[in-house]
Structure 1
Amino acid sequence: MDAAQAPRIGRVFALIDGNSFYCSCERAFAPALNGRPVIVLSNNDGCAVARTPEAKALGIAMGAPFFKIRDLCRKNQVAVFSSNYTLYGDMSSRMNEIYHQFAPEVEVYSIDESFLDITGLGGGSYVAYGQQLRQTVRTWTGIPTCVGIGPTKTLAKLANRTAKNHAELNGVCDFSDLATREKYLPATSVGELWGIGGASAAKLKAIGVETVGQLRALDPKRGRQLLTVVGERTIHELNGIACLALETLPVGRKGIAVTRSFGRPVTSLVEMQQAVAAYATRAAEKLRRHGLCAVQGVVFMHTNAFNGDKWSHTSKAVEFLEPTDDTQELVAAATRAAATAWREGYRYAKAGIMLTELVPLTMAQTSLLATIDRAQRDRLNQALDAINLRFGRHTLVPAAAGLKQAWSTKFERKSPCFTTRWKELPKVAA
């Protein structure tokens, strides 16, 4: 389908995301890092999960183990940070508050990406509207962004990627404009498309389809045969036919998981129970925040076979007499399960709790056999959440979670939580 045959554009979507988001959050509170290579590490400071362009230019790959690039970072004065999820989550929330001022409907796609419905906005120039959005986010939060615009979510996503890869676009690419679409789309590799992974790209290559232009011209039924309904839908969306609606309401959660790798191997049941109790506490907080209760779940633990330890993976199901969001109930059930699943003589590297059957609090059915005073527990949990919200997480925790927590995940290079904790607010010298 050529530009003259393209369907009339109806709705217009924008995808905005933070550039090197985790690194940009760190730079927002340390301007001296601008222009300097920055990376952010995964849990336990294991490997690089975010990199600025300057770090990429040094050859630091996504997922590169830190112990392998430590000397390279030291030699090139790379700023290295542990993940600070509290900071990143709060900065994401602040950005989305701005988006709601620019568009009537916003879909939070991930921590650093959001889709906006900008149909009819911008006074006739979506590029100018995108630039205004970028500038506002940069001024109010310090986070640099790119904006992709298109008549479908797939084209908006691809436009966002195009804006990143072509400096002449100045951070905004508008694929609702047919001339712009025809300039960049035909030669773009199908591997850059949303939802087209390596296996799908290989199937397309086998029939001679290697570019977005070639895929766009493919019969949608043929796309379905090769890549299921995803392939058919992608072809339609590349031709400007919207198949994916904006999801402005959060999808109901089907499960909640809290899992962590330990800062060092856990070899005693006491420490394992402390860790599992801490994870159950966090899971209970998540349940209450989302207005949910758990019916059942599972506690698991496993070793790390990659460092020469004996392999062991064990788990134990947990069930509740009635749906619950109570911290004490979850901690008690999780520590009992950990004791049952525990095997002596192993060096455990990771553990967690997964709650796999959730129901809304308003639909939870109580049991006639229950012996817990729910009203009293609810007041206790509300007080617990309020104190931890005001003074910081872990201000009040169950004793079962331990006090020293020597097993906890390492964040040795973590920056302060500048926006959420009074004691860690940035200090400005006169």
Structure 2
Amino acid sequence: MYALVDCNNFFVSCERALDPALEGKAVVVLSNNDGCVVSRSKEAKDLGIPMAAPAFKYKDLFKEHDVKSFSAKFELYNYKSQRVIDISRSYVLEYEVYSIDELFLELSGFKYIDIREYCLKIKNEIIKQENIPVSIGIAPTKTLCKVANRIVKEYPDQFDGVYILDTPEKIEKALKWLNIGDVWGIGRKLAAKMHDSGVYKAWDLLQKPEMWVRKIMGIHGVRMMNELKGIRQLELDAPSPKKSIAVTRSFMEMLTRKEEVRERVETFGMYCSEKLRRQNTCCRMVTVFVQTNRFRKDLPEYRNAITQILPNPTNSSILIGRVVNELFEAIYRDGFHYKKAGVIVNDFVPEDERLISLFEEDTQNQHLPVMKAMDAMNKKFGKDKVRLGSMSGKNTFERAILSPEYEAFLKNNTLPEANFRFH
């Protein structure tokens, strides 16, 4: 059996963990630049506030119903996510982190205990330690775990946050209830195609011949059918190193000064370097791009990108910063209003398996002790406490609605686990 631990309205729950007075009130969390709604409490959903709603369009509704809105605090959310993961994984031997607010637990070896009661202990422990409510769906396959989890969220009072699909009768009843568009892995376009063929519920899909499913969805569809039948097709995945790393941002306002854009681009290069060191790899290729606001038809448009192959693989912030600066000089043009820029690194090699050029100076090993020391200090004292001189430390985008409770929290806590960046 698998269990899916899913945090309820995770970003909102983190806000309520900071300020319990928000409990029972309509709360929304806003995206970068406080632009769109990225998380809603049940009370906010009941007011008809949709996901990804532009905040400025709902200002009047927020004011009328006293909806509390907050800027996203991804440092805090990532920290809370790690705490939920740590508590959950302490109960099992194998697990898979699926997203910032979801993880799968392997329960196949738990044959002589009450699995539902065991998962209730996990749920209660998370509430007790972190004040984050979770829903736990238990089933023989990962896809059915998603179904069980949806049932828990639909009927929270009925199942006390935990539901188990452990019999054919329960599975059949659940699949006859679940809309085909809500099945894990089926999007809107595929759901519309299913509707055209008379498949409206998940159960309807199981009544179709395998050849039909294979024709419509390929081998992915056959695996999905087996998962819905309770035949395990998807195992737990171990996290693997990334094959490319990109740090790209849209700016709060359009930038026209060259040095402002340069500082942002060089900072993005530094963050790529940090991520490379975190997974103990070096890159051999660096790409830099800049672009104007394509929605401003009244302004001249410009976009460009350039890539350079490095003679020696590196993860040094100093070396990558120099390359990024050279590439930026090659593509920057005066007279434009820049809205977005980014740095992408790829073609990785393990840090201890670097092949270097005989004809190029290799300073990676000279920089490595400094880089490691800088990373260690930032992990201990908080992000960007130690940084290179070219980094301003200022945000690329704005978070204007930060609660006093969060400011107080930051004064008394460092967040060493927080890997999300806001520059």
TM tier, smaller? over 0.9
> Which residue is 2:229 aligned to?
239
Q: Which moved more, 1:326-335 or 1:126-135?
A: 126-135
Q: 1:251 aligns with which of 240, 251, 258?
A: 240
Q: 2:219 aligns with which of 226, 229, 238?
A: 229
Q: 8 Å contact 2:2–2:107 — kept in the other structure? A: yes
Runs (5+) with no aligned partner, structure 2: 416-423
Structure 1 CA distance for aligned equivalents of residues 111 and 411 of structure 2: 37
Is 1:42 paired with 2:46? Answer: no
Q: 8 Å contact 1:259–1:353 — kept in the other structure? A: yes
> Which residue is 1:318 aligned to?
308
Q: Secondary structure at the match of 1:402?
A: coil
> Which residue is 2:418 aligned to?
none
Number of residue pairs matched? 411
Any idea what the Cα deviations from partners look like across 1:279-315, whole Å, max 9, x if unmatched? 1111111111111111103111222222444332211
After TM superposition, the score normalised by the length of structure 1 is 0.91
User: In the superposition, relative to structure 1, how do residues 269 and 74 fare at CA in structure 2: closer, same or farther (>3 Å)?
Assistant: same
Structure 1 CA distance for aligned equivalents of residues 84 and 248 of structure 2: 27
Residue 95 of structure 1: CA displacement? 0.9
2:355 maps to a residue whose letter is: Q
Any idea what the Cα deviations from partners look like across 1:8-58, whole Å, max 9, x if unmatched? xxxx11111110111111111111111111111111111011111111111
Q: 1:211 aligns with which of 201, 216, 221?
A: 201
Is 1:302 paired with 2:291? Answer: yes
Is 1:408 paired with 2:396? Answer: yes
Any idea what the Cα deviations from partners look like across 1:64-88, whole Å, max 9, x if unmatched? 1111112222222222111111111
Alignment of 1:110-125 (within 5 A): 110-121=99-110, 123-125=112-114
Alignment of 1:356-367 (within 5 A): 356-367=346-357
> Which residue is 1:381 aligned to?
371
1:260 maps to a residue whose letter is: R
Q: 8 Å contact 2:381–2:414 — kept in the other structure? A: no
Residue 362 of structure 1: CA displacement? 2.2
Alignment of 1:21-40 (within 5 A): 21-40=10-29
Identity %: 34
Structure 2 CA distance for aligned equivalents of residues 410 and 420 of structure 1: 18
Q: 8 Å contact 2:140–2:230 — kept in the other structure? A: yes
After TM superposition, the score normalised by the length of structure 2 is 0.92
Is 1:220 paired with 2:213? Answer: no
User: In the superposition, relative to structure 1, how do residues 25 and 322 fare at CA in structure 2: closer, same or farther (>3 Å)?
Assistant: same
Structure 1 CA distance for aligned equivalents of residues 168 and 336 of structure 2: 61
Residue 196 of structure 1: CA displacement? 0.3
Q: 8 Å contact 1:323–1:359 — kept in the other structure? A: yes
Q: Which moved more, 1:63-72 or 1:273-282?
A: 63-72
Structure 1 CA distance for aligned equivalents of residues 37 and 337 of structure 2: 25
Structure 2 CA distance for aligned equivalents of residues 423 and 107 of structure 1: 28
User: In the superposition, relative to structure 1, how do residues 213 and 200 fare at CA in structure 2: closer, same or farther (>3 Å)?
Assistant: same
Q: 8 Å contact 2:31–2:71 — kept in the other structure? A: yes
> Which residue is 1:342 aligned to?
332
1:77 maps to a residue whose letter is: D
Structure 1 CA distance for aligned equivalents of residues 400 and 152 of structure 2: 35
Residue 402 of structure 1: CA displacement? 3.3
1:254 maps to a residue whose letter is: K
Is 1:85 paired with 2:74? Answer: yes
Q: Which moved more, 1:208-217 or 1:416-425?
A: 416-425
User: In the superposition, relative to structure 1, how do residues 268 and 348 fare at CA in structure 2: closer, same or farther (>3 Å)?
Assistant: same
Structure 1 CA distance for aligned equivalents of residues 115 and 254 of structure 2: 53
Runs (5+) with no aligned partner, structure 1: 1-11, 426-430
2:293 maps to a residue whose letter is: N
Q: Secondary structure at the match of 2:352?
A: helix
Alignment of 1:123-162 (within 5 A): 123-162=112-151
Residue 93 of structure 1: CA displacement? 0.9
Structure 1 CA distance for aligned equivalents of residues 23 and 232 of structure 2: 39
Q: Secondary structure at the match of 1:146?
A: strand
Residue 124 of structure 1: CA displacement? 4.4
Q: 1:351 aligns with which of 341, 353, 359?
A: 341
Please tell me the root mean square deviation across aligned C-alpha atoms, in Å: 1.9
Any idea what the Cα deviations from partners look like across 1:174-202, whole Å, max 9, x if unmatched? 11233322332213111111100011111
Is 1:105 paired with 2:129? Answer: no
Structure 1 CA distance for aligned equivalents of residues 50 and 379 of structure 2: 37
Structure 1 CA distance for aligned equivalents of residues 306 and 38 of structure 2: 31
Q: Secondary structure at the match of 1:252?
A: coil
> Which residue is 1:59 aligned to?
48
Residue 125 of structure 1: CA displacement? 2.9
> Which residue is 1:332 aligned to?
322
Structure 1 CA distance for aligned equivalents of residues 411 and 354 of structure 2: 34
Structure 2 CA distance for aligned equivalents of residues 147 and 340 of structure 1: 52
Q: 8 Å contact 1:14–1:117 — kept in the other structure? A: yes
Q: Secondary structure at the match of 1:350?
A: strand
